[in-house]
Amino acid sequence: MASIFTKIIQGEIPCEKIAETDSEIAFLDINPCSHGHTLCIPKREVARLEELPAGEATSLMSFMQRVATAVSRAFNGIDYNLTLNNGVNAGQEVLHVHFHVIPRKPGSPRPFKSREPYGEGEMAVVGERIRACLD
């Protein structure tokens, strides 16, 4: 079943389109965290970032950089967060990979308020665990 984003790509659902290429599209989020909150998505419907072929992921990153620059300029050089919720447990609601470009006004709530410090020696163990999974 096609995701809501695929339906937007196919023109079945309207959007406020910001930019589009042959392989990506950016549009305003209909439930924004702030004005200018923009979604950057690949046209290929995959649920997770690692399912996107490497060349398409690279293209998406370049596209997102261009869109994020425009969002910042549109709001007088405003700072912004780039966010990916990769999987349901990470907060992903639409199972079609997408990045959020979220403009941040002065005084807006900061991300990363919750911290989980490493215990003695844990950082090295976690680092090795991740390195062992690199391709």
Residues with active-site annotation: 98
Residue type, 116: E
| Residue 32 CA: distances (Å) to CA of 4, 98, 102, 103 | 16, 14, 8, 10
- Give the span between the Cα atoms of 94 and 99, in whole angstroms: 11
